[in-house]
Chains A and B, each alone.
Chain A
Amino acid sequence: MRRVGIVCMCLLCIATGVFAQGSKESTGQTTAAAIAVNRTGMPITNEVTTFELAAKSRHNKNFANLEFFQNLEKETNIHIEWNMSSEDGWREKKGLIFAGDLPDAFYGQGILTDIDVIKYASQGLLIPLEDLIDEYAPNVKKLLENESYRKLLTAPDGHIYALPSLTELSPVTHDKLFINKTWLDKLGLGIPTTLAEFEAVLTAFKNNDMNGNGRTDDEIPFSFLYNRKENGLFSLFGSFGQLDRLNHLIVKDNKVIYTAVTEPYKQAIQYFHELYKKGLIDKEGFTHDFNVYIAKVKSPEKIVGSFVGWSLSSAAGANKPDYVALAPLKGADGKQIWNTYTSYINAKGSFAITNDCKNPEALMRWVDLHFVPETALQIDQGLLGRTLTINAEGRYDYLPIPAGKSFTEMIHDYSPGVNSLGAVTMEIASKLNLNANLQERVELDAFFAPYNVPADQVYPEVYFTVDEVEQIAVLETDITAYVAQNYANWIVNGGIERDWDGYLKRLQQMGLDRYLKIYADAYQRYLSL
């Protein structure tokens, strides 16, 4: 009886396999074929043309209701059927969209990851854009005249398949070191300039009752969050001669280096272990999550002596006046270096046209409008008349925010904001009268500018091929986990001297060489594009 059952089961499966087509369904879009496109001027097409775009919104807004798109439609005659998703579950949905019903295009910052772009382009589901850009997208074309942008956006096969979301308002420095000046003044200490002075200051913070509550055990001399680029120890490692980065990859003299197997990295870890042993750094640096971390810095009880963060406004809140930026600490060689983030691109895969699209020319013109400098600014910082206004000198000012709303809400109630794409270049950004947040970015950038390493020491965000990614995926997961585990363990428990050789050998066994070779080849290819 059992066996009969099994046989029946198998027959059933085979039968359904034969039965079900399993092939992609591609229902036709509602676009008409080959509508005449006006090469310049508005509207883009003389009759209303409809396109279906897949998009996601972190703010759960349906784009159909946003003023920005309604205005755009009136101007261009292009009507968009939005297939909206939330950030949640987009990964799963994305795969299904590619398996089933393709839209005309994918829209929005990071809508497709780099590997998505390469993978689906190689399957012919995404079309090359460079010719369309040449003919129909003058603003994008201008953007691509910038060599580094062009190189970053070009796939290994030489085509451009996706448009980016970028903003030159992005700072060059992402992680900044801050120290509590109020506490220093209280102790009569100067700003530390060397590693030794830093340790002395931290010791003083620890041993004294800095926040005046009668207890000496609740101050945290130094805090951080180990796995975020804005809050980790990466730039601090520079005091030992070489910077570290979240992915441990840097470039020196055109060679790709994995920092986690180098001597400076080892010394840096030893230093921080010493600090940890003396109770000078936050025990929870490896375990607390971002919200807890920020809560500590912002705490009304003022418990943090120094920390690594993006900016004081975002991290310190009401405690902002207590802190100042701290220049890189000098190590044995006296050099002061700091991490540079050269890419203004937030996400490379922010717009891609599928092979289902019957009228890519019109769509390209439509998306090109996002790259008109003034439009890009409005997408990013809010619409004119809502968040922004032009003053008499032709510069942009921020309008006051109505009560009960936040700055972000004011942007995203009318504009797609961070869920969209565009390029806010310096050309337009320089006309903006910066608000407090942006102003602080500029100031902090200026502070760290003397220390930022040159751009060619940073590993760029290149495109990899499908084969390369397949290999990287497994190698990177294994290697990263192992490196992270040891990193944390050595700083907390010590033992790096004892474990170092075994660690190096293990990484070799895990395939570190293969991993680095892929990155090195990709870098060379990038240079030659």
Chain B
Amino acid sequence: MHNPLSRHADTIFDTANTILLALVALLVLYPLYFIIIASFSEPDAINTGKVLLFPVGFNTTGYERIFSEQSIWTAYRNTILYTAFGTFINIMLTMFFAYPLSRKEFFARKFLTFFMMFTMYFSGGLIPTYLLMRTLGLYNTPFVMVLLPALNVFNVIIAKTNIKNSIPEELYEAASIDGCSHFTFFFKVVFPLSQTIIAVLILYYGVAHWNEFMNGLIYLKDESLYPLQLVLRGILIQNQASADMMGDVESLLEQQRAAELIKYGLIIVSTLPVLVVYPFLQKYFAKGVMMGSVKG
């Protein structure tokens, strides 16, 4: 029986909710819109606050400069490959690790959690890792981009927690009564039911690969292997490092100007592909993924 008071409260809630979220969206949208129009504007106008609703001094120079860089298409290709293969490895390894860690009765659970978390806080640092990559022959190969970040402790933990909380224990009991082994349960039940968390992992790992540049900087020598962000950053000369102007001042000024020109366009160029992918993943965040599993 529907309580008329509660219906009233619901309407208030819905209206308030919608308005609030719309405001939030606006607050977020304007700066995003600003980036788009800034990418087509004159840097001087941007820096003096002239750019508000429309581009000022409309030009596509920024984009021309970015795309005139020959290596950018190779870089796009590289990053797509690194992301695809890397994320696949990520998901596999993460789920392989998260499932056992989510089982309360697993004898090595605490030890392995500790084993994994230890690496978050104690790390050998750049030099030993670099030497190791060279010893293993991974230096300057695509494998270093895909294997080195194979697991992220944070993501393993959220996967583990999600599995623990979303796969009801009854399911497991029902399955084990039927003589189901861990392997079978994992591949036939847990994996399919973890669509949501896998979608989250795809997003987290995928974006991490997409934005990766540090590993590329340190471990790759051949330009043909460079990921996108590395190439983009190479095009953009960082302003912060030019406190001491060495050499030809005028040329440095010109470079800084070029950097200003492409700063905003770079974001669009590097982010657009990711933004296009997200809506496809969104459907996994819908409610009712678990529906019918317990009853069946």
Contacts and interface: CB of A to CB of B under 8 A. Distances in A.
A145 interface: no
Contacts of B44: 294-295, 298-299
A305 interface: no
B131 A99 contact: yes
Contact of A96 (B43, B118, B218, B242): B218
A2 B233 contact: no
Contact of A418 (B221, B223, B248): B248
A252 interface: no
Interface in B72-105: none
A458 to B, nearest CB: 16
A96 B234 contact: no
A425 to B, nearest CB: 16
Query: Which secondary structure dominates where chain B touches chain A?
Result: helix
B212 interface: no
A86 interface: yes
Contacts of B255: 58-59, 408
Nearest to B254: A408
A99 B111 CA distance: 34
B241 interface: yes
A109 B256 CA distance: 18
A109 B44 CA distance: 30
Contacts of A83: 221
A298 B43 CA distance: 11
Given A4-B111, A96-B218, A290-B256, A25 B134 contact: yes
B48 interface: yes
Interface residues of B, number: 47
B167 interface: no
Interface string B128-165: 10111011000000000000000000000000000000
Contacts of A306: none
Nearest to B233: A88
A196 interface: no
A228 interface: yes
Contact of B246 (A289, A294, A346): A346
B114 A9 contact: yes
B225 to A, nearest CB: 14
B247 A109 contact: yes
A58 B217 CA distance: 15
6 contacts: A9-B118, A87-B237, A99-B131, A101-B134, A228-B243, A299-B44
Interface of B: 43-45, 47-48, 110-111, 114-115, 118, 122, 126-128, 130-132, 134-135, 214, 217-218, 221, 223, 233-235, 237-239, 241-243, 245-257, 260
Interface of A: 1-2, 4-6, 8-9, 13, 20, 22, 25, 58-60, 62, 83, 86-89, 92-93, 95-96, 99-101, 109-110, 165, 167, 227-228, 230, 289-292, 294-296, 298-299, 310-311, 313-314, 346-347, 380, 406-408, 411, 417-418, 437
